[in-house]
Structure 1
Amino acid sequence: MAPIYLSLDIGGTKIAAAAVDAHLQMRGRITVPTRSATPAALLASIRQAVAEVVSQAGAEPGAIQAVGCGVPGQVDAATGLVRHAVNLNLSHYPLGARLREELGRPVAVENDVRLASLGAYHHLRRTRPNDRLHLNSLLYISIGTGLAAGLVINGQLYRGRHGLAGEIGHVPVDPDGPRCACGARGCAEEYISGRGLLRLAREHLSRFPGHPLLTRGDELTTRAIFQAAAAGDEAGSAIIDAFAARMARLLYAVAMSYDPDFIVLGGGIINAGPVLFQALQRHMEEMRTEAPVARMLLPPERIIALAGENMGIQGGIMLAVDAGCCRT
């Protein structure tokens, strides 16, 4: 029976699953809806995803060697305990242990953004062989519903003492800013995230009375803003430009903090289209012109947007292979 490794990207609305063989060739890839009203419902969804992807791979459950899972929340990677995952209604839940009981195989659980950073690291090593000698560290920044990062050093995830490394979205940047769900005021993700973009848009649109975006009211979406900017709309372009300026300052800050070889951008906001990355590049070039250290820390060829790529799935594959190799 040919062995397979499974990767699960467990999100609040869907679970993406993939199966690869021992040569890391893709054998199956599916998505199923996430049911997360209770832990039992979530386990049933995961069970469905595993069954469907194993079937698509033309394999049997006994062929599974190991599983790598990404979860949107705070995770104890050593034990697979999900300390807190709001979107999945989990609190101090032993997801890794439950899945090991279900499958009888090693299961590794990791924070989803951290897992995506591992996927991005291996993706670049595979697709940019000329950069391998210069790819010792990588910082992956996910901008979507929230803001978070993952750091890979010499192929290994850096988690920090409490497993909170990369939680850049909860760095306070404005003491008078809005209250964040974490309890602090003016956290970075209140400004650089999907809701941050919407808040910024409403501020800008007050200068454009009667603008079509303004008439949407509570129905205003990030997609509509990106579409307006891509069409050359003045207000839409101004909103995206202002948001890109915020992103540029964020990248400068994290580059000064971590000095990584590469910075990779991902997440729903990055996936919305190239108009944001183009604006970001303009602001980064202004920084390089003004500050010599920015030219050193932020060369354009070392800042990459991986739009449309599921780095979480790729990271889960590497996590599963590592877990399978460590079987005793």
Structure 2
Amino acid sequence: MAVDVGGTTMKGGLVGRDGALLYVERRVTPRAEGPERVIAAISAFVTDLSRPRSVGLDGGVLEPVAVGLAVPGLVTATHAVFSAAFGWRDVPVEAFTQVSLPVALGHDVRSAGEAELAYGTGSDVRTGSTGSDTRSGAGDVLYLPIGTGIAGAVVLSGSLYGGAAGWAGQIGHIPVWPDGVRCACGQRGCLAAYASASAIASRCGEDSAADVVARVTAGDARAVAVWNEAVEALSLALATYTLLLDPALVVIGGGLSLAGDTLIAPLRDRLPTLLTFRHPPALRVSALGVHAGLLGAGLLGWRAQEDHL
């Protein structure tokens, strides 16, 4: 079983050992109702997914063997330590599930980054190949999903890097404009306050970033201004990251990646101007799209099952 908890939507399903998505279901994340309600909704989702079900034309019945949970914020193997999106603190993994199966808890973006390495756009970093890029650092990648929030999975020499406490990659809370708008984390001017899908939609008075993209395409002045500011914030953050860690590849994922060239083209234009003495990294859209987190949660579940044997 795999559950990927997002600020707007929870994706749950059954994932085969080979990464095949055997069943997928989506539910609304009730974050407006408070952290306890979100925890209860995750637990109920896990319980429902744990029931045997027929999948496929052959009518075979699948029974889950383990649970993988991918959640945002600061996460350890035993606790969801903090989430600005949900307002929870120090939630033990046991609170998220009532089923008697092995369970693994992980960070949503790092888990999605693992899936991207295993199955998606970043899978070629294991062989040191990233398309046309032939530099020796081809195994250095930033996976950056942009949805309700923004965080990054840092890949160094083909392996995920967690940092001293396992919390590396919180690029969404790097201040791009220190005197800017207030972020949900309490700081001002964070990248996520300008360039997350939720921030872009909110600043344009829309329900989704997709509506803003439609307005940008139509030439709406307000939408274009908000979009350009988001691209500028992303460009500044990516330039800083590039100068520090020199990635060969940046993979853009999450819901905002569905904007395609409306997002990628201006990023490709702007980033080189902020890196005056070096070439920018290659930019790509995730091959796994919105399912990266779910597949990453599946990897967590299989790891829990293997550790239990």
TM-score of the pair, normalised by structure 2: 0.78
**Cα separation, 1, equivalents of 2:104 and 2:304:** 7
Aligned residues: 292
1:260-295, CA deviations, whole angstroms, 9 ceiling, x for partnerless residues? 23211122322244312222122235456xx231x1
**Cα separation, 2, equivalents of 1:256 and 1:152:** 15
1:209-260, CA deviations, whole angstroms, 9 ceiling, x for partnerless residues? xxxxxxxxx4586333311222345664454334323322221111112222
TM-score of the pair, normalised by structure 1: 0.74
Q: Which amino acid aligns with 1:279?
A: P
The aligned counterpart of 1:326 is 307
CA 1:91 to 1:55, structure 2 compared with 1: closer, same or farther past 3 Å? farther
RMSD: 3.2
The aligned counterpart of 1:124 is 120
Gaps of 5+ in 1: 1-5, 202-217
**Cα separation, 2, equivalents of 1:224 and 1:284:** 25
Cα displacement (A) at 1:200: 6.9
CA 1:8 to 1:251, structure 2 compared with 1: closer, same or farther past 3 Å? same
Which secondary structure state, in structure 2, belongs to the residue aligned with residue 164 of structure 1? Answer: coil
1:146-172, CA deviations, whole angstroms, 9 ceiling, x for partnerless residues? 221121335543222233211122223
Cα displacement (A) at 1:24: 3.6
The aligned counterpart of 2:82 is 84
1:79-118, CA deviations, whole angstroms, 9 ceiling, x for partnerless residues? 2x1122455564322125763x62332x211111221111
The aligned counterpart of 1:266 is 253
**Cα separation, 2, equivalents of 1:23 and 1:188:** 35
Preserved contact between residue 7 and residue 148 of structure 2 (Cα < 8 Å): no
The aligned counterpart of 1:311 is 292
Of Structure 1 and Structure 2, the greater helix share is in 1
The aligned counterpart of 1:142 is 145
CA 1:181 to 1:22, structure 2 compared with 1: closer, same or farther past 3 Å? closer
Preserved contact between residue 153 and residue 169 of structure 2 (Cα < 8 Å): yes
Preserved contact between residue 70 and residue 111 of structure 1 (Cα < 8 Å): yes
1:173-221, CA deviations, whole angstroms, 9 ceiling, x for partnerless residues? 33322333333332232232245536876xxxxxxxxxxxxxxxx4586
Preserved contact between residue 241 and residue 276 of structure 1 (Cα < 8 Å): no
Preserved contact between residue 154 and residue 161 of structure 2 (Cα < 8 Å): yes
Preserved contact between residue 85 and residue 184 of structure 2 (Cα < 8 Å): no
CA 1:41 to 1:193, structure 2 compared with 1: closer, same or farther past 3 Å? closer
**Cα separation, 1, equivalents of 2:248 and 2:46:** 36
Which secondary structure state, in structure 2, belongs to the residue aligned with residue 183 of structure 1? Answer: coil
The aligned counterpart of 2:192 is 189
Percent of aligned positions that are identical: 29
